[in-house]
Structures are given as structure tokens and as C-alpha cells.
Structure 1
Amino acid sequence: MASARRTQKPSSRFSFVKRIPTADPTAELPVPAAFRCPISLELMKDPVTLHTGITYDRQSIESWLEVGSLTCPVTNQALGNDELLPNHTIRRLIQDWCVANRSFGVERIPTPRIPVTSIQASELLSEIAFAGRRGDRARCQELVGKIKALGKESERNRRCIGSAGAGCVLASCFSELATESFERSRAGAAEEILSALPLFFPLDQDSCRQLSSLKSLESIVSVLRSGDLDARVNAALVLRELLSSLPPRRINGVAGTDGLVEALSKLIQNPISPRATKASLVAAFYLVDSSDRAAGALVDTGIIPSLLEILVDSDKGMCEKALAVLDGVLGCSRGREMAYGHALTVPVLVKKMLRVSDMATEFAVSALWKLCRNEKRGGGCSMEAVRVGAFQKSLLLVQVGCSGATKEKANDLLKLLNGCRGSMECTEAVDFRGLKRPF
């Protein structure tokens, strides 16, 4: 065995061909050098040629250009024009070579789609803007469908169309076509725009300004209420993106849109998909975090029992978002009153104080602190919190360490709970079997 190893010395010369392992492990198939990308040295799937005359695989040369390289990798010539021309001749030769060698396990390279150019993207967006200004809903829907299909083809297309101003054009067009009343016969263009917008997130300031107009917001609310399933999901995603991009002062104005809070609450209470629920929770958080009026309105929709149900059994991301909204609505007195009357409130919050995430801990401690700090004399919230282990968990948080604001609230919570300890027996917060649910 040792002598066999000594005889297998590496070759002293470099191989000028890339070899592909085939179905037969004892055989190797040489790949012609002209078919290999000079950058990756792999078989080219989408050969393109620079003005220097050198052909590369599109993905490799685009990655080279994206990092700011301004020269041809082979010739080192300056790239004043970085237009990539598809090399159809090389591509066909590669495909023929693959077919000829399929018995060796080589799969045929599929014909690549030609990516959209910046000129094509700009022209298509100009047509969409023109159709929107004319109020031509049918033409607008058709063109937006094309831009959406191109964006879904590849990440490169999305970047190209987005950099051409897709977000602003689509938002402006949506504002032009927005109507307060939702009519199925006229809703197609608006729903198509809402389905295309998420492809080009994040939105810029001009896009957000268009979408935050009263007409646009009323149309979004109409879709949230009466649109089909996909349309409602897309409307929730657009609303989440809008609220996450606006300053608090502007969010306060958005919160006053008639029916907006109720529509979001309905998506949370009657979930249609995890994606829609998460988007609605994030949107609701931005609303309650910036507007006391929105927090009160959300409480009036009966959102608290639904939030607690979500928290009983949900993944990390959903849990964090539900806790954020719950903490927000507990900032108003009506929210606390409803929470005091629900059997799951304190046990769920105590359970989520640890072992979910730092963000979940922050919101859970804050929510429990608001409840215990504001309860009336003789209220049972603090006593129940001690019974299910809040004191021990707060003490652990203070000892182990947490963020500054959370540590202050945990310290304050220890003081609030200390008077209720006495000889009370503590139970594990995870044991909900003895609790009666009021629903």
C-alpha cells in the first residue's frame, strides 16, 4: 500500500483542460478549453463576450464587474463599455458537445433567457407610467404583468428593473388608478401592481410618498378587506414596507385611514397564510408604536386573545412579532384591562421571558412590567406572575445580563413582585394544563 502511494505522484505539468467526472468512475472526459470560462474554469452555461473579444460565463463576469473591477480579466484592458453580448455560436457548440457526450453523463446546457437591459426596463416603465396617467387599466395591468414576469426570471433582472425606478413608477401608477371603492371589475390593475411591488423592495422616499396618499391608502384598505387571497397578502406586504420606511409623524397620519387598523386586525385574527400574518403583525407594530389612537383601535378589535393564541405555539419569528404588538397595545389602559381578564396573559408572557430570543425577552419583560406596574391595588396579576415563576426568571435575567432598558425593567419587576412572594409556591410557566381558557 505504501509503495502504491509513492507511485501516485502528482504530474509536474499543469493540465490545460478541465475534466468532468462521468458515470464511469474510471474514465474522465476532457472539456475543450474554449468551452471553459476563463474566470471559473467551469463549463460555460451562458457565454457572453466583452468588447475586448474575450468570452466568459455571464455569472462569473457579472460578479467580477459588481465588485468594481474595471478591466478585462484576461487582457487587462480597461472596460469603458461593460455591455455583455450573448455569444450564441459558442453556446450552440457547447450544447452540441453536451448532446454528443451524454453517454458519459453530461447533461445538455439549457438555452439561457436573455436578461433585460436597462434601456428595455426604462422603456417598459415609461409605458406603464403613460398608461397610468391615461387611466388605461387594461394596458397598465398587461405591462405590469410583463415587468413582474421579467423580475421573477432572475435576480439580475430585478436589480436592473429596480434601478430603473420600478418602485416609484409602480407606486405612482397605483396612486393614479386608486379608487376608494373596491370593484372586482376594476381591481385587476391595482392588484397586479401590489403583486409586483414586493419584487422591488426596499421602496424609496418617492414611492412611499405616493403610497401614503389618502387615495392609495384607501385602495390598499379595500384590497385588504375584499381582495382575493394573493391580493390581500401582497397588500399586507406593501403596507409593512410602507410603514417601516415612514417617520413616526407620517405613520401617525397613516393610522387615521378609515378601516386600516380593522383590516390588519382581521388578517391577524383570521390568518390566511403565515406570510400575511407576519406582515400584518409588523405593520400593526409600527402603527401602535407611533400612534396611541391606533393602539386603542387595535384593542377594540379584540386583538389581544388572538395575539396570546399565536404566542402559545408559534415559531421564533412569529413569536417576536406577536410580542412586539402585544407590548405596544399594553401601553394603553384599555389594552391592559383586556389583558388582565385573560387567563393566558401572564403565563404566556412569563414563558416567553427566556429561551426564545433577546428580542422576545425584551418585549415579554416590557409587557409584564406594564401589567404589574399599572394594576390596581389588590389585583392578582403580580401574584399570578410570582406563582408561574416570573420572580426567578427576572432574577436570572438581571444576573446573567440583558440589554440596558430590559435590565432596568427586570429590576423594577423584581421590586414589584417581591412583596407578593411570601410563602407562595411557584410553578413552571410552561404548565398550562390547569388553566381554563375563556374561549
Structure 2
Amino acid sequence: MVRDDLYITVPSFFRCPISLDVMKSPVSLCTGVTYDRSSIQRWLDNGNNTCPATMQVLHTKEFVPNRTLQRLIQIWSESLRNSPDSPDPADSLLSKDQVLAAFAHLQSRPLDRLESLAKILSFARDSEENRKYLARIEAFLPALVGFLLNVDDDFQFLEQVVMALNLILDKIQDREALKTLMLKNQSSNSSSCLDSLLLVLQRGSTDSKISSATVLQSLAMDTESKLLIGEKKGLISQVLRLTAPDKDPAVIENALSCLVAISTAKRNKLMLVHLGAVKAFSKLLTESSVSASVAEKVLKLLETVSSTKEGRTEICEDSTCVAAILSKVLKVSSAATEHAVTTLWSVCYLFRDQKAQEAVTKANGLTKILLLMQSNCSPPVRQMSADLLKIFRVNSKSCLSCYDTKTTHIMPF
């Protein structure tokens, strides 16, 4: 069946307001209205000094090429050439043509941009294929970053920008380019993307806070980017606040994932410690409703801060934290067990902290370590457990003797 071009719907913003044909070389006047170059040139050459669409007097007759719109028209034209004769069977809320039109509106109609971006968000949420399509539009990501860099009073629009960015994150092939775009102004005094992400973390809805935390996590690709994120005043402290037990569980989990990603830089570890992260994590671990995933992330973060002197000091001074770590050694997952045992091994065996050892003994830690050694644990966990038992064999003979009278069948010595 031959395709009848008469039935192709052309997005209205692809048509020149003068000729009504699809623009080949779109250019914008000082009024913000875009025309095909040949049409507007003829209008101006005929002695007119007004904008044909608005009839405003032009203070300059110069025009600027609209590269974004030109690229969108090119993508749309290519999609028509490459599409099959039959209609696309995919059940999408919007067609790709309509999304391109919405993107054109987003760029050229500031007053309607919230509605345009809402349409794009609906399209992105509809399917993975749609998200891939948006990520492949060359101008889409730079446009979103541009909105983040130019924050105004429209907070709802800012939230939508962050959510749109989050939706296409895993479809972006050049992650290095994303990092460069997002962090390029961070070292200067000008507004940066991190300012916008922080604002959303502070004031946003549940969905936009989750999106902001996820975007931050994706930016933490290397030490440089992690340090830049940490240098943003108030950012780490705000993410830490979102891990409080009274927050939405999804917000807590995504905030923890963000902290795991950025905390490997030593400066950020120390900042977390100074912000009271150890007490916050201890409180979170003692919550009866804490999920396995959240427990894993908290234990991972405690393991991370235990690699610093300041972190170890905070853990050792807080017997509640040591007991909370011990409570998760056998009950969560193999990953959680490894994080928990590594932290205990660090403070009790490697650095021989007396307070930590006493806290482990008081919390019946020896029993749990003995049971762990009889379980199907990994070789590193088994070795660290054996090291811990050596410490307690010397320092806690009374506890060991008491345990011997009850369950001698699992004694490791």
C-alpha cells in the first residue's frame, strides 16, 4: 500500500506562519516568532518592518537560526522516511510527532512550557521505547540542563524538569557528557544545576525528591564529581535529612543510594560524620519496619565511614550503633552481613577499640559471630569472624565460657 502524504499530520510549529509549509531553515526574529528564512526574508525585502504574526514593530531586522527547531524537523522528517506503511501499533499516550511539537513549544512558548513538559513526561512514562526516543533527541538533554541552570519562580516547572531528566537517565549513552553539562558551572559563583537539585530536595514532592536524589547519584561518577557535589553547601546535609525514619520509604531508600554513591570520597565521608550520620544511621537500623534494602545501604554507609578515624570514634562511642549493627549480622542478606562484619572487624580487631569490644560483648555479639561462622558465609566474612573471635577469646573468656556450657557443638576452638 502506498502511503498517502496527505494524511500525515504536521506539527503546527514546524510550519512557517507565512507560507504554512514545513520550514527548511527556521530563523527567529527579535519577537521570538520563528519563520522559514526564505519567507521572512521576502517579507522584509518588501519593505515591511513588523513581525507578520504579532504585527509588532521590529527594533532590528536581524534574525537568529533556530538550530533546535531545525534539528527537530530533521528528526521528524527522518522518522517519516523510516517508518512502515502501516500505523505504529504501540499504544502510546502521545505520538512522536506530538512530542516533537511539544518540545518545540517548550523552547518557543515560555508561558505554555509547563503544559508542554507535562505532555513530554506522559510520553516518557508510557514506555521504555519512548524514553529511548527522547534520549536520542540531540537537543533534549541540553534543553533540560539549560532549564536547571536558569532557575526562576516556577517551582512546579523545575520539578518536572528534574523528573524528566530522571526518566531518561539510564538511556543516555554519553554519561561523561551529562556530567560535564550538569557540573560545568559548579566551581563558579553563578547558578548551577546542583542549586536546582538542592531546591527540589528541600521543597519538592515525593516523586521529585526521588528524582533529584537519583540524578545526583548518577552524577557521582568519579572522585572529582563526588567532591563537587560535596562542596555544594547544604546538599549532603539535606540528603541525610531525607533518611529520617519519618520520611517516605522510597525517599529514604533513594537518599541512601545517593549517599552511598558520593560518600567514597574521603572529604565527603568526614562531612557525613560531622553531620551526625552515625547516630542517624543507628536510629534507622533500630526501626522495626526497616526493609532489607534500606538496612543494606545503611550498613554499607557505616562500613564506609568506619574507614576514617572520626567515623570509628563515633561508632565506638555509640553502643547503640554497635548493637544495631550486630542485630543485622544474621537477619538481612549476605551483602548486609558482609558490611556489618567488616565494620565490626574494623573497630574491634583492626583498631582494637575497647569501647566497641565491650559493646559487642554486651550485645551478645560473640554468640552471633559463632553462629555466623557455622553458616554458609563468604570466605572474607569467615576470616573476619575468626579474627574477631581471637579478640574475644583473649578479652572475654568469661563470656566464651558461658557460651561453651550451652552449645559446645559449634565451638570453633
Distance 2:137 2:247 in 1: 26
* Matched-pair contact (CA < 8 Å) for 2:135–2:141: no
Q: Which residue is 2:124 aligned to?
A: 151
Distance 1:167 1:370 in 2: 49
Distance 2:139 2:384 in 1: 46
Structure 2 residue 280 is the aligned partner of structure 1 residue 310:
no
Residue deviations 1:295-342, cap 9 Å, x none? Answer: 111111112222112112211111111111121122222222222222
Distance 2:306 2:251 in 1: 23
Residue deviations 1:21-57, cap 9 Å, x none? Answer: xxxxxxxxxxxxxxxxxxxxxxxxxxxx999xxxxxx
Q: Which runs of 5+ in 1 are unaligned?
A: 1-48, 52-79, 88-111, 429-439
Between 1:347-356 and 1:206-215, the stretch displaced more is 206-215
Q: Which runs of 5+ in 2 are unaligned?
A: 4-81, 187-191, 404-413
Q: Which residue is 2:183 aligned to?
A: 212
Distance 1:423 1:50 in 2: 90
Map 1:298-337 to 2 at 5 A.
Answer: 298-312=272-286, 313=288, 314-337=290-313
Change (3 A) 1:239 1:114: closer
* Matched-pair contact (CA < 8 Å) for 1:141–1:193: no
What letter is aligned with 1:225? Q
Map 1:164-179 to 2 at 5 A.
Answer: 164-165=134-135, 169=139, 171-179=141-149
Map 1:6-405 to 2 at 5 A.
Answer: 82=84, 84-85=86-87, 116-125=94-103, 128=106, 130-131=107-108, 137-152=110-125, 154-155=126-127, 158-165=128-135, 169=139, 171-179=141-149, 185-204=153-172, 205=175, 206-213=177-184, 214=186, 215-243=192-220, 246-269=221-244, 271-289=246-264, 291-312=265-286, 313=288, 314-373=290-349, 375=351, 379-405=354-380
* Matched-pair contact (CA < 8 Å) for 2:132–2:171: no
Deviation at 1:362, TM superposition (A): 1.0
Question: What is the DSSP-based 3-state SS (H/G/I as helix, E as strand, rest coil) of the residue aligned with 1:142?
Answer: helix
TM-score normalised per structure 1? 0.62
What letter is aligned with 1:258? K
What number of residue pairs does the alignment pair up?
Answer: 314
Change (3 A) 1:166 1:273: farther
Distance 2:298 2:111 in 1: 39
What letter is aligned with 1:419? V
Question: What is the DSSP-based 3-state SS (H/G/I as helix, E as strand, rest coil) of the residue aligned with 1:423?
Answer: helix
What letter is aligned with 1:301? L
Distance 1:252 1:209 in 2: 14
Sequence identity, in percent?
19
Distance 1:168 1:318 in 2: 37
Change (3 A) 1:426 1:363: farther
Deviation at 1:192, TM superposition (A): 1.2
Change (3 A) 1:271 1:234: farther
- Pairwise CA RMSD: 3.3
* Matched-pair contact (CA < 8 Å) for 2:210–2:251: yes
Distance 2:2 2:323 in 1: 65
Distance 2:360 2:137 in 1: 48
Distance 2:361 2:85 in 1: 68
Deviation at 1:426, TM superposition (A): 9.1
Residue deviations 1:392-420, cap 9 Å, x none? Answer: 43344344343343333223222233222
* Matched-pair contact (CA < 8 Å) for 2:134–2:140: no
What letter is aligned with 2:129? R
* Matched-pair contact (CA < 8 Å) for 1:375–1:381: no
Change (3 A) 1:169 1:406: farther
TM-score normalised per structure 2? 0.66
* Matched-pair contact (CA < 8 Å) for 2:393–2:400: no
* Matched-pair contact (CA < 8 Å) for 1:167–1:201: no
